Amino acid sequence: MHKSVQDIINMKKEKKKISVITSYDYTLASLCDKAGIDVLLVGDSAGMVMLGYKNTIPVTMDHMIMFTEAVSRARKDSLLVADLPFMSYQASIEDAIVNSGKLIKAGADAVKLEGGMIMADTISSIVEVGIPVMGHIGLQPQTTVLSQGYKVQAKTSDTAMRLIEDAKELEQAGAFSIALEMVTKEVSQIISDSISIPTIGIGSGTGCDGQVLVAQDLLGMYDKIKPKFAKRYMNLSEDIVKALESYREDVQSGMFPAQTNSFSMDENELKKLREKIGS
């Protein structure tokens, strides 16, 4: 049985750090699950790293359903959380519930949505119908980016106070955890200490109860944006390009396919064939 929302909440109580990674496709999700990652997040960052959009705004419910289905076929042990994309939950609570239901039907265990206290009613309505919700405050790529660009959040005491209030309201509304994106490390620590649900940080320091990274950043596969907070554990894009160049050269020189990559006919059958075609 895979991890549950309650298992993730318990990890905070047991002072165990929570590992979260974005996943969008079957192959990589299988590897993340095998590596023992606690939570697979089908993030709407898929719009950028999988579909090549310059931000997450164009991502649709159909995209998110397809990615969620693929990841759900792969996961065995991890919890699966899927992002509600831009404008799938902001216009009405009904939209939010219907679209959360679609992601759950696609295989998610919980949904994530962006927004502070303004989203409290939406979150509590989704939770009331039985769907767990992860909040997302600090930098909110779906909206903050439209007005401010990618900026560190909670740098002043006023903005920090607002964020702390947001976190408390989200907990009150029934969120089971909160992603904190690009929040100053001091404020992340204060938030993590003042709520009982886990905080999952991205670019928000070590005080969070867990950490999330975009898989393509961690693996060194996406070069368009190189966030300061993303630790690169390998440079997979270099290795992939090298492998593809070797393949191209092998095809050009006739080294590929080798005998071992080919299939043969029975010799007698080949002889008969040659007689039939007169060669």
Residues that are catalytic: 181
**Chosen residue from 84, 110, 133, 179 binding ligand KIV by CB under 6 A:** 179
CB closer to ligand KIV out of 80 and 94: 80
Residue among 46, 9, 1 nearest 210 (CA): 9
Size of the site for ligand KIV (CB under 6 A): 11
**Chosen residue from 80, 106, 212, 218 binding ligand KIV by CB under 6 A:** 212
Residue among 163, 160, 171, 169 nearest 198 (CA): 171
**Number of Cβ atoms within 10 Å of the Cβ of 254:** 8
Say whether residue 140 binds ligand KIV (CB under 6 A).
no
CB closer to ligand KIV out of 62 and 94: 62
Least gap, CB of 199 to ligand KIV (angstroms): 12
Residue among 17, 56, 52 nearest 38 (CA): 17
Say whether residue 220 binds ligand KIV (CB under 6 A).
no
* Contact flags string 75-114 toward ligand KIV, x per CB under 6 A: --------x-------------------------------
Among the listed ranges 43-51, 218-226, 230-238, 247-255, the one in contact with ligand KIV (CB under 6 A) is 43-51
**Chosen residue from 22, 78, 199, 204 binding ligand KIV by CB under 6 A:** 22
CA 225 to chain centre: 16
* List of residues 6+ apart from 119 with CB closer than 8 A: 89, 113, 135, 170, 173
Say whether residue 45 binds ligand KIV (CB under 6 A).
yes
How many residues in the chain? 279
Catalogue the long-range contacts made by 118-122 (C-beta closer than 8 Å, 24 or more residues apart).
Answer: 119/89, 119/170, 119/173, 120/169, 120/170, 120/172, 120/173, 121/93, 121/173, 122/89, 122/93, 122/96
Cα–Cα distance, 181 to 11 (Å, whole number): 20
Say whether residue 218 binds ligand KIV (CB under 6 A).
no
Among the listed ranges 38-46, 153-161, 233-241, 244-252, the one in contact with ligand KIV (CB under 6 A) is 38-46
Footprint of ligand KIV (CB under 6 A): 22, 43-45, 83, 136, 179, 181, 202, 212, 214
